[in-house]
Amino acid sequence: MIDKILLFPYWLTLKLRHLAYDCGLKKVHTPEVPSICVGNVTVGGTGKTPHTEMLLRTLLSSEEWGNRNLAVLSRGYKRKTKGFQQVMADGTAKEYGDEPLQIKRKFPLVTVAVDSSRAEGCNFLSNPEVLQTAKKGRRCRFKDFPAADLIILDDAYQHRAVKARTSIVLVDYNRPTFKDHLMPLGKLRDLPERISAADMIIVSKCPANLNAWEKCQWSEALGLKGYNAADHFGHRKDGKKQYIFFTKITYDTALPVFPEGDARYLYAKRLILFSGIANDTPLRHYLSSTYKIVRHFNFPDHHKFSRADILSIRDAADTYPTSVVMTTEKDCQRIRDLKQIPGNLRQRMFYVPIKTEFLSEEDRNSFSSILESLLK
């Protein structure tokens, strides 16, 4: 009872905000080109960026979109630049944010941009010529990019001012929304019933052996009735069809953070791990199967590494001189910006590429077909 009283002001604020959009009191922008919104109703940790990358892989391998101009738009969390910016692969996390930079480096032929205004950002991506004369264009360093045929909006589900053609909401298997609370008592940043507005739910970070019965239980817990496992959908109370899929995390072979990385350290038995992401538990479990983690530095999500942080990691590396130093792919984007990392530490520092995959090839093919139908 006390928790409901404490959360009532925030709950009421969210309720009134959504009511204003639902009643047309607030303006909603619809992008000129097909668009996909990827987001969640929680604070971090559901895997938005890996799922955005999965969408890019899916679209780029399709006949319909493989040869088209794809773009990704993000707000560029914690960047120091202002306005609309095209992300360049040789740029820094300070300029663009770590996640947009990660996407650009993995998909160099895809246009990646950041803008706090999703509506203006979509307009610039679909009409690049507008940027040449727009006020925001004065701050934009790189204005040369092709007009987008499709835009993926990364982490934009809570941005009601833009309505994408297709919306995907992510739910963390390890932290179900139906067992969570609104901030600050929980991790929910939006009303859990907002999940019903999406075209598709993806339950992320699932165990690889998730069975049909568990999928059915999850679907019911998320408000879907009559879940059809073969066609991957159920129905909301109002009769709306909503698709649901389940994905898992996989990791690729570790890669050097810096060019001078010495691959021989990957054969070490001991590991020093540092991370600044919302939840590094899956990564720790993965690395523990190969290494003994002797030191673990756990920083806040999107952490800005200081000189003191680097010195602490260096001291740990000196204590365990034969150990390998490992970090996450997202943290790698920020670490590369730092100049004060000693040469011997640079040789030992590696990151683990992350990837999101479906639980089966059949699920992947079904997702691809359904996604194309939703975009038409």
Could you read off the pLDDT of 227-283 as tens digits, one per residue? 988 899 999 999 999 999 999 999 999 999 999 999 999 999 999 999 999 999 999
Q: What is the DSSP string of 73-97?
A: EE--TT-S--S-EE--TTS-HHHH-
Is 240 part of any domain?
Answer: yes
Tokens coding 280: 């590094």
Is 13 part of any domain?
Answer: no
Q: What is the pTM of this model?
A: 0.95
Could you read off the pLDDT of 132-166 as tens digits, one per residue? 999 888 889 999 999 999 999 999 999 999 999 99
Do 276 and 242 share a structural domain?
Answer: no
Amino acid at 320: Y
Is 290 part of any domain?
Answer: yes
Do 94 and 213 share a structural domain?
Answer: yes
Do 190 and 334 share a structural domain?
Answer: no
Do 111 and 53 share a structural domain?
Answer: yes
| CATH code (residue 231) | 3.40.50
Is 244 part of any domain?
Answer: yes
Please say whether the dihedral angle defined by the alpha carbons of residues 108, 91, 262 and 357, taken in this order, is positive or negative: negative
Tell me the percentage of the chain whose pLDDT exceeds 70.
99
Is 14 part of any domain?
Answer: no
Do 190 and 126 share a structural domain?
Answer: yes
Do 145 and 120 share a structural domain?
Answer: yes
Do 267 and 150 share a structural domain?
Answer: no
Do 194 and 132 share a structural domain?
Answer: yes
Do 330 and 261 share a structural domain?
Answer: yes
Domains contained in the chain, number: 2
Is 6 part of any domain?
Answer: no
Q: Quote the domain boundaries for residue 237.
A: 27-248+358-375
Cross-strand bridge partners of residue 248: 357
